Structure 1
Amino acid sequence: MGSPQDGLAQNLLPKNIANLSAYSSAKSEKLSGSTWLNANESPYNREYQLSGQALNRYPDPQPQQVIQAYSNYVGVKPEQVVMTRGADEGIELLVRTFCQSAKDSIAIFAPTYGMYKVTADTHNVALNTLSQELLLQGEVDQICTQVGDAKLVFICNPNNPTGALVGQDKIAAIAARLTGSALVVVDEAYIEFCPEQSAVSLLADYANIVVLRTLSKAFALAGLRTGFTLANESILAPLRKVLAPYPVSTVVADIAAQALSTANIASMRRQVDTLNALKSRLQQWLEQSDAVTRVLAGEGNFVTLQLKDKNAIAIAYQQGLVMRPFTLYGEDDWLRISIGNEQELKEVKAWLDSLTGSNNKALFRN
């Protein structure tokens, strides 16, 4: 039986929050294991030196050293960069700034990153859910017609969890068609794994394109929670109005500035080359395995596949191997494997081999 306080909270909650299904992150599942390949984290770790700046003072809301370093890295002007608490805050800022509650909508292409939906639901903004197939295969006029009157159109590129990639020409054409009616938000959390496909170069010609970036993936700083929203100043000016007064801590700014040094960017790129090579090896193993029905070809530091039998996931857990199960296309036998280091991927190979060994062959007879 609930307390009176429980009833009070429920009475005060807006309906959209009471009905909200929170985002379930890989780390929220409270699993146990020894090898973690479920959250698209980098296997690399680097030590950073803290400067010992006085923490009794509030930080620079937008640390200029970091803004300048990131603008140099991506090739835009500093005034085209807003630093946020992960790219997730950029998503939330865009919805909160440009969408009116109970009136406006956003468009997404499912299956895709779950925080677009959660953010829309949180702000009581309608969701126009279109398909990845439409985005990848449809004509631009068809896509934009189905987008309807959505204020924001989110394109996760490369897409999570499928790895699918939309070309720059198509993004540009969609932005041109939606000029004056919608912002095209290109979420590039995984773009360092295919940097030549970035939409950042389109900012010069399309005022309604926004690019979201993060240091969580290729830069191996998932624990720092640092992201960037890139756009023209006409878009960023209203975002700055609603941004929290001090969104970036002194410690975070200090580490981010170090991560964006010339030497560390070069190190990140070498690590990306290694991870891309390891990913190719993993894809080969998966394609050759009798335990796997389908492997999605795509970009990013992960591979998504369909298993012949989802009981294979339980076997992985028994071996201490934690990967991310998904329900995709109405089927619950999908799995996303983050690209770990060589030793971690050898454990994936051992798991795959165990699935089709003499003890488990019966699982996969069809």
Structure 2
Amino acid sequence: MPAGSDPLALVRDDLRDFAGYRSARTERNEGSVWLNANESAWANPADAASTLRRYPQPQPPDLRAALAALYGCQPAQLLAGRGSDECIDLLLRAVCRPGLDAVVTTPPTFGMYAVCARLHGCRLLEVPLLDRGGRMDVDFAVVADTAERSGAKLVMLCSPGNPSGTALPVQQIEALAWRLDGRALVVVDEAYGEYSDEPSSVALLERLRNVVVLRTLSKAHALAAARIGSVIADPALITVLQRCQAPYPLPQPCVDVALSALSAPAQAQTGDRVVQATRERECLQDALAGLSCVRAVYASQANFVLVRFADAQRALEALLAAGIVVRDMRAQPRLGDALRISLGTPEQNSAVLDTLAGLA
């Protein structure tokens, strides 16, 4: 049993005993004629397999088991949802009292943390990343002080960071979690974890009950449209989050494709492509650093590179003229000259470099 305080003490008082909605698929009934969910008696003509007229299982055991095996946890520690976005929303919904509780973030970072905090009426406390010229680091001491002083319920960390690309040391995450034990959940968003050399924070759940990890099949596993994300946490907290979740969050076709993607042959191919992507990342970073139009390239452990330009508008226009769409980061705090470039195929990465080289 992990040490530390019971994370249920951080759940909203009014939701600790909340039963949620019990759908027809949560009832453990056996039978051959299913007339309990008001489903159509006939399949839709577009449903060749005649399977979509039935509501799906809320948490398919086979998918939950496959994801748990992938991430190194127990099925009871994992809840599957509609991408990491829903998992973030569920955490805010279950833990933070609207108008009273706060969330700590470290901008520039993934925008959904702030969006969910605002939608739930929570205070947003920002501790800016430390820009060291070639990487952006979390100021863990200030994060801890801010969380303690404000009584924040959630601390959102992104590792590797988006858009920074910086992977956070697990030892520092663990120290933060111990310091905030009984005070806040430390949430580590590892959407880009497959591309990182830093070990996953999932291992911390063996020692700490206030660590929460987010994972997704959208990035390295190339299933962005399937919307399969996971929140990994203490089993008691997972139970509460499931009660706050919509009755049927996972469409059956998405579950089917996710299970296929988690087969041994598919995972082997995914691993090979991650290796190729990281090689491309190193080549792209080195080449970008040598261009006269580039001010700085941030070291990345994700599948993208954050780049500062002498003239970001000109660089953006040149790439768009070549048919290359990148992410304009200039609206983000302290990134007024930056673009984020996702890793493409070797040919696509070469096209980026050729286009930017023409600005010299």
Within 5 Å, give how 1:190-209 maps onto structure 2.
190-194=192-196, 196-209=198-211
For residues 285 and 125 of structure 1, what CA distance do their matches in structure 2 show?
43
1:114 has 2:115 as partner: no
- The residue number in structure 1 matching 2:59 is 62
Aligned partners of 2:127 and 2:139 also within 8 Å: no
Aligned partner of 1:178 among 177, 180, 203: 180
Relative to 1, partners in 2 of residues 1:110 and 1:283: Cα closer, same or farther, differing over 3 Å? Answer: same
What is aligned with 1:291? Answer: 293
Name whichever of 231-240 and 272-281 sits farther off: 231-240
The offset of 1:330, in angstroms, is 3.1
* Cα RMSD after superposing both structures: 1.7
Structure 1 residue 265, shift from structure 2 partner: 1.2
AA partner of residue 95 (structure 1): L
Match of 2:309 in 1: 307
Offset of residue 350 of structure 1 = 1.1
**Residue 96 of structure 1: aligned partner:** 93
Give the structure 2 partner of residue 161 of structure 1: 163
Partner of 1:325: 328
Once superposed, which parts of structure 1, at least 4 consecutive aligned residues long, lie more than 4 Å away? none
Match of 1:275, as an amino acid?
Answer: A
What whole-Å deviation, never above 9, does each CA across 1:161-189 have from its counterpart, x for those lacking one? Answer: 01112101000000000000100000000
What letter corresponds to residue 320 of structure 2 in structure 1?
A: Y
SS at structure 1 position matched to 2:350:
helix
**1:56-114 C-alpha deviation (Å, 9 max, x unpaired):** 11101001111111111111111111000000000000001100100111000011000
Contact 1:51 1:254 in 2 (8 A): no
TM-fit CA distance, 1:332: 2.1
Structure 1 residue 138: deviation in Å? 3.6
Return the offset for 1:139: 5.3
**Would you say 1:145 and 2:149 are equivalent positions?**
no
Aligned residues with identical type, % of pairs = 36
Against the structure 1 CA distance between its residues 212 and 314, is the aligned structure 2 distance closer, same or farther, given a 3 Å change threshold?
A: same
Change (3 A) 1:188 1:331: closer
Deviation string, structure 1 residues 242-271 (Cα, Å, up to 9, x no partner): 110000011111111111111111111100
Q: Is the 8 A contact 1:105 1:125 kept in 2?
A: yes
Q: Secondary structure at the match of 1:68?
A: helix
The question of 1:348 aligning with 2:345 is answered no
- Is 2:108 the partner of 1:130? no
User: Residue 241 of structure 2 aligns with which residue?
Assistant: 239
Report the alpha carbon displacement of residue 53 of structure 1 after superposing the two structures with TM: 5.6
Q: Any conservation in 2 of the 1:157–1:187 contact (CA below 8 Å)?
A: yes
The DSSP-based 3-state class of the residue aligned with 1:197 is coil
Tell me the amino acid that sits aligned with residue 176 of structure 1.
W
Q: Distance in 2 between matches of 1:319 and 1:164?
A: 29
Give the counterpart letter for 1:355 in structure 2.
L
The number of equivalent residue pairs is 306
CA pair 139-81 structure 1, distance change in 2 beyond 3 A: closer
Match of residue 40 from structure 1: none
1:153 match: secondary structure: strand
The corresponding residue for 1:362 is: none
Letter of the 1:304 partner, please give it. L
Alpha-carbon offset, residue 195 of structure 1: 5.5
Q: Distance in 1 between matches of 2:190 and 2:171?
A: 16
1:86 corresponds to which residue? 83
Match of 1:74 among 67, 71, 75: 71
CA distance in 2, matches of 1:224, 1:291: 38
SS in 1 for 2:337: strand
Q: Which runs of 5+ in 2 are unaligned?
A: 1-46
How far is the alpha carbon of 1:222 from its aligned partner? 0.8
Q: TM-score, normalised by structure 1?
A: 0.81
Change in CA separation of 1:331 and 1:133 when aligned onto 2, cut-off 3 Å? closer
C-alpha distance in 1, partners of 2:223/2:336? Answer: 30
Q: Which amino acid aligns with 2:54?
A: R
Does the 8 A contact of 1:192 with 1:272 survive in 2?
yes
Farther off after superposition, 301-310 or 329-338: 329-338
**TM-score for both structures, normalised by structure 2:** 0.82
Q: Which amino acid aligns with 2:253?
A: V
Which segments of 5 or more consecutive residues in structure 1 lack a partner in the other structure?
Answer: 1-49, 357-366
How far 1:51 moved relative to its partner?
Answer: 9.6
* Aligned residue identity for 2:325: V
Shift of 1:52: 3.1
